[in-house]
Amino acid sequence: MATCQVEFDKNPIVFSPGDKVTGNVKMQIPDEDFKARKVRMEMIGKAYTYWEGNVKNNHKIKNNGDIARVRHNCADHKGKIVYCRFETIVWKSDGSKHEMPSGEHIFPFTFQLPHWAPPSFEGKRILNTRKFFFLGDLGFIRYFLKVEIDRPWKFDDKFITCFTVLPSIDLSLIPNSQLPSKKHICEEFGAVLWKGGLVKMEIRLPKQGYVCGESIPVKILVDNKTSKSFKKISLKLLQRITYTGFRDGFVNSQSHPCMGNEKEKVTYATRLNAQVRVEERKILEEIMDVRIEKNDKIDMEKAIIVPPLPPSTKTCEIIDVEYFLKAKMSTLGTLKSAVKLELPFIIGTVPTDKDRSFDYKKSVFGYAATSLKNRDVQKYAPLYPVYKFI
């Protein structure tokens, strides 16, 4: 079997929309007689969503005594957006024997990303309900280079290498990102005839926009006018993803040159019966042990450092990514209760201080977040900029 190594001219392998993706494919053909018709290279960028419907079979007895099977099927939903798909033939056999010379072959490549490409994103892996041993994706936004050797009378050799695409999301250009935000809740404890009083919890942020590596100073204020005591406050950083799928269909778009000029355009083919599925991933959690008695007030601050994460985005038609801070305050005693509150914030890729340095680091979810079913796909985790604030 042939081996293949993709070497990009850029390191780290992170591109912006509109960039040219250049490099070389180094292919090693074994010494034995190796048959091939051609070598095809593709650059593909696409968003994809999929989840299964629930299937239930019931038995119903008819009037004549026969048993009928009634099938309740909530159809599978899926969606697909193809942002770019460019193909080129880098080698072709010149004879009927289809012999490819042994040794090393080097094929240069140049592809250009579309200007509207959304950021790379790898969704949560879920358990397939029909085949319990299979793990699948709820969705992803993925860019990759595919090299395929067309083999006569054999399975084609395929090699897939993923790379990161990251648009510039400048916090200084987002009006609300530098404004403070706050949210509060007042909750009454006790039954109708035994009122236990009110407790107020408020969380505040000095601004709404942050970048990876930055510390979020979360201020928590509690005013306890109840008869209960509170013992614990948990603070979670959540990623909330909204996936859009289409019943037995998909959304598809392709980029191509317009006639008469070099501009690109997108065409859409939309299917009906759209559904959304919202999933949350807990990024991290901080637990604070407190003791808030009746008539107590507290004013505390907890810093949360943003790890390597994809930016907030609503630029993909079928995948939205948002972030929230969720505070939960729990009571003492056998009959436990809790007060919950969440506050949204934005993750960008460029801070207001443009002189700040950064390094690209693998997603906090690592390789495990990427479900790559083809055995020839190299391990991949998206890279995101992590800024230095020390």
Say whether both 277 and 234 belong to one domain.
Answer: yes
What was the pLDDT predicted at 26? 95
Cβ atoms of 375 and 157 within 8 Å: the answer is: no
Give the confidence band of 219 by pLDDT, cuts at 50, 70, 90.
very high
Residue (of 243, 214, 210, 157) closest to 324 by Cα position: 210
In a domain? residue 27 = yes
Cβ atoms of 154 and 148 within 8 Å: the answer is: no
Q: Which of 165, 198, 214 is the last residue of a domain?
A: 165
Instruction: 354-357: list long-range contacts, CB under 8 Å, 24+ apart.
Output: 356/387, 356/388, 356/389, 357/387, 357/388
What was the pLDDT predicted at 286? 94
Residue (of 36, 169, 179) closest to 102 by Cα position: 36
pLDDT tens, position by position, 94-142: 877 788 888 999 999 999 999 989 999 998 655 444 443 334 558 899 9
Say whether both 121 and 176 belong to one domain.
Answer: no
Residue (of 174, 179, 196) closest to 187 by Cα position: 196
Say whether both 142 and 74 belong to one domain.
Answer: yes
Q: Per-residue pLDDT averaged across 228-238, rounded?
A: 92
In a domain? residue 144 = yes
Least confident window among 113-117, 217-221, 328-332: 328-332
Q: Which of 109, 142, 165 is the last residue of a domain?
A: 165
Q: Residue 371: is its pLDDT beyond 70? A: no
Cβ atoms of 282 and 364 within 8 Å: the answer is: no
Say whether both 201 and 136 belong to one domain.
Answer: no
Q: Residue 259: is its pLDDT beyond 60? A: no
How far apart (Å, rounded) are the C-alpha atoms in residues 175 and 101? 59
Token pair 């079928």 is found at 318
Number of domains in the chain: 2
Q: What percent of the chain has pLDDT over 70?
A: 79
Q: Residue 299: is its pLDDT beyond 80? A: yes
What was the pLDDT predicted at 246? 84
Indicate the burial class of 275 (C-beta count within 10 angstroms; 0-12, 13-18, 19 or more).
middle
How far apart (Å, rounded) are the C-alpha atoms in residues 138 and 120? 15
In a domain? residue 64 = no
Least confident window among 208-222, 346-360, 375-389: 375-389
| CATH number for the domain harbouring residue 76 | 2.60.40.640
In a domain? residue 23 = yes
Q: Per-residue pLDDT averaged across 287-315, rounded?
A: 93
Say whether both 190 and 154 belong to one domain.
Answer: no
Say whether both 15 and 148 belong to one domain.
Answer: yes
How far apart (Å, rounded) are the C-alpha atoms in residues 333 and 352? 47
Say whether both 266 and 293 belong to one domain.
Answer: yes
Q: Residue 51: is its pLDDT beyond 50? A: yes
Q: Residue 325: is its pLDDT beyond 60? A: yes
Contacts of 352 by beta carbon, 8 Å cutoff, 6+ apart: 171, 172, 178
Say whether both 258 and 353 belong to one domain.
Answer: yes
In a domain? residue 225 = yes
Q: Per-residue pLDDT averaged across 338-362, rounded?
A: 94
In a domain? residue 65 = no
Give the C-alpha distances (Å, rounded to integers) separating 299 from 72, 295, 345: 53, 14, 21
pLDDT tens, position by position, 144-189: 999 999 988 888 888 999 999 999 999 999 989 999 999 999 988 7
Q: Per-residue pLDDT averaged across 16-35, rounded?
A: 91
What was the pLDDT predicted at 55? 46
Q: Which residue did the predictor score with more confidence, 367 or 102?
A: 102
Q: Per-residue pLDDT averaged across 335-361, rounded?
A: 92
In a domain? residue 63 = no
What was the pLDDT predicted at 126? 52
Q: Which of 143, 165, 187 is the last residue of a domain?
A: 165
How far apart (Å, rounded) are the C-alpha atoms in residues 301 and 217? 6
Q: Per-residue pLDDT averaged across 312-322, rounded?
A: 94
Cβ atoms of 225 and 186 within 8 Å: the answer is: no
Contacts of 222 by beta carbon, 8 Å cutoff, 6+ apart: 199, 200, 201, 202, 230, 233, 292, 296, 297, 298, 329
Omega before residue 114 within 30° of 0, cis: no
Say whether both 160 and 189 belong to one domain.
Answer: no
What was the pLDDT predicted at 266? 47
In a domain? residue 60 = no
Say whether both 100 and 125 belong to one domain.
Answer: yes
User: Please, what is the end-to-end C-alpha distance for the chain in angstroms?
Assistant: 50
Say whether both 89 and 127 belong to one domain.
Answer: yes
Q: Which residue did the predictor score with more confidence, 250 or 243?
A: 243
What string of H, E and C letters represents the secondary structure of the chain?
CCEEEEEECCCCCEECCCCEEEEEEEEEECCCCCECCEEEEEEEEEEEEEECCCEEEEEEECCCCCEEEEEEECCCEEEEEEEEEEEEEEEECCCCCCECCCEEEEEEEEEECCCCCCCCEECCEEECCCCCCCEEECEEEEEEEEEEEECCCCCCEEEEEEEEECCCCEHHHCHHHHCCEEEEEEEEEECCCCEEEEEEEEEEECCCEEECCCEEEEEEEEEECCCCCEEEEEEEEEEEEEEEEEECECCEEEEEECCCCCCEEEEEECCCCEEEEEEEEEEEEEEEEEEECCCCEEEEEEEEECCCCCCCECCCCCEEEEEEEEEEEEECCCCCCEEEEEEEEEEECECCCCCCCEEEEECCCHHHHCCCCCCCECCCCCEEEEECCC
What was the pLDDT predicted at 95? 76
What was the pLDDT predicted at 272? 59
Domain hosting residue 365, numbered range: 171-371+380-387
Q: Residue 389: is its pLDDT beyond 60? A: yes
Q: What percent of the chain has pLDDT over 90?
A: 54
- Per the prediction, the chain carries an average pLDDT of 83
Say whether both 210 and 357 belong to one domain.
Answer: yes
Q: Residue 72: is its pLDDT beyond 50? A: no
